Structure 1
Amino acid sequence: MPDPVAPLALFAIVSTITPGGATTLATASGARFGFRRSVPLMAGIAVGLASLAAAAAIGLAGLLLAVPSLRTAMNLAGSAYLLWLAWRIARSGSPNLQAELAAPTRFWSGMCLLWLNPKGWAMALGAAASFAALASGPLQLAILLGSALGFAAAASMSLWCLAGLMLSRLLRTERQWRCLNALLGLLLAASIIPMWIT
């Protein structure tokens, strides 16, 4: 008999490793600041997704479905935040330049990235609906989903951050850094599009 948690594990891995705003930010942070200095951001993303999944399992997300204006406000706030991050990334040069941009994104910013992102809510709601049968109640489902998605996010953000770190070792000129940062900024800005068309 197959393990009933295997589909949840597969869902968690696939949904967290596919490109999006969080993965782009982890890649940019790895390229600019290295792995160690990017840990707070990655931890914030993982905790943000875990807590979001737990909230969806408990039923807090029902509020978003019941109050459409709250979802619109969340879309606006999330879009503004992601555009601000994209602008910061796109404007930055090589890691040794621009002291005002020399601080990596913090834990709370990574967490907010998930809580303000309707794509994250859609993923958490989908997981809660799809895997509700794996738990005997909302609290057990919250623990199961939070753990699965949190651990998967931590692993996938680490991989994306390491990819950024490897990219940084290939870049030698200021122009190469500007091209990479512009591309990552555009990708992060483009990650907003799905939240407005779903």
Structure 2
Amino acid sequence: MEHTPLVALIVYAFVMSITPGPNNVMLMSSGLIFGLGRTWPHLLGIPAGVMVQLWVTGAGLGGVFALEPRLQVVLKVLGSVYLLWLARRLWRAAELEEAEAGRPIGFMQALVFQFVNPKAWLISVTVISTFLSAGEGYALRLCVISLVFVAVGLPCMLVWAAFGAGLRPWLSDRIVARRINRAMATLAALTVLLFWR
């Protein structure tokens, strides 16, 4: 991969990974509720899912989405339902102890979520169509692109999880805890709007 496209890919990966979206909102919520230590499986599952998604898209699934736009609508509906379910759980968690009693999102759940996350599909299709041309060394270049996305994305996602974990000390007051949980729930619900714009 030449220098200029690599720099452009790094910038694109950074912008897509650091900006708000379903994954980052869920990581912030998990950091808040479960702490950074229990959020690591979730945090590692996202880039693993992104890598698999990039490989699948690079193998030709991106073309299927172009030919059958109704599949994108199905993904939007599934992703929206999941985020609204998560928002409902957060809203109902009156206190940190109550929320902590639940289970954090695991590695495989985070990996599989990428396949119903419309933002992740948009990123995958854009990356493959923009940064990967057909020809010799296609598989190797696809692997390099995937690794770049993980190397850039993981620290960006860690920022969101750490920010959520950093809010934990503020949760000793029940009223503050309820307000933060409900603010996170609202943010998770509003993220659904990103799917439909």
Q: Same fold (TM over 0.5)?
A: yes
- Mean CA deviation greater in 83-92 or 116-125: 83-92
Residue 68 of structure 1: how far off its partner (Å):
2.4
CA distance in structure 1 between the aligned counterparts of 2:164 and 2:135, rounded to whole angstroms: 37
- Correspondence for 1:32: 33
CA distance in structure 2 between the aligned counterparts of 1:82 and 1:135, rounded to whole angstroms: 39
Residue 2 of structure 1: how far off its partner (Å):
5.0
Q: Are the aligned partners of 2:30 and 2:39 in contact in 1 as well (CA < 8 Å)?
A: yes
- Correspondence for 1:145: 145
For residues 84-110 of structure 1, the C-alpha deviation after alignment (integer angstroms, 9 at most, x for no partner) is: 1121122213332257x5211111221
- Correspondence for 2:182: 182
- Correspondence for 2:45: 44
Q: Structure 1 13/68 Cα, relative in aligned 2: closer, same or farther at 3 Å? A: same
Q: Are the aligned partners of 2:90 and 2:99 in contact in 1 as well (CA < 8 Å)?
A: no
What runs of 5+ residues in structure 2 fail to find an aligned partner? none
The amino acid that maps onto 2:167 is L
Q: Are the aligned partners of 1:57 and 1:138 in contact in 2 as well (CA < 8 Å)?
A: no
CA root-mean-square deviation: 2.1
- Residue correspondences, number: 196
- Correspondence for 2:69: 68
TM-score between both structures, scaled by the size of structure 2: 0.89
Residue 166 of structure 1: how far off its partner (Å):
0.9
Q: Structure 1 39/58 Cα, relative in aligned 2: closer, same or farther at 3 Å? A: same
Q: Are the aligned partners of 1:128 and 1:141 in contact in 2 as well (CA < 8 Å)?
A: no
Give the % identical residues. Answer: 26
CA distance in structure 1 between the aligned counterparts of 2:174 and 2:136, rounded to whole angstroms: 56
Q: Name whichever structure is richer in helix by fraction.
A: 2
TM-score between both structures, scaled by the size of structure 1: 0.89
CA distance in structure 2 between the aligned counterparts of 1:82 and 1:112, rounded to whole angstroms: 14
Q: Are the aligned partners of 2:33 and 2:99 in contact in 1 as well (CA < 8 Å)?
A: no
For residues 136-163 of structure 1, the C-alpha deviation after alignment (integer angstroms, 9 at most, x for no partner) is: 4542232122212223232122111111
CA distance in structure 1 between the aligned counterparts of 2:78 and 2:136, rounded to whole angstroms: 35
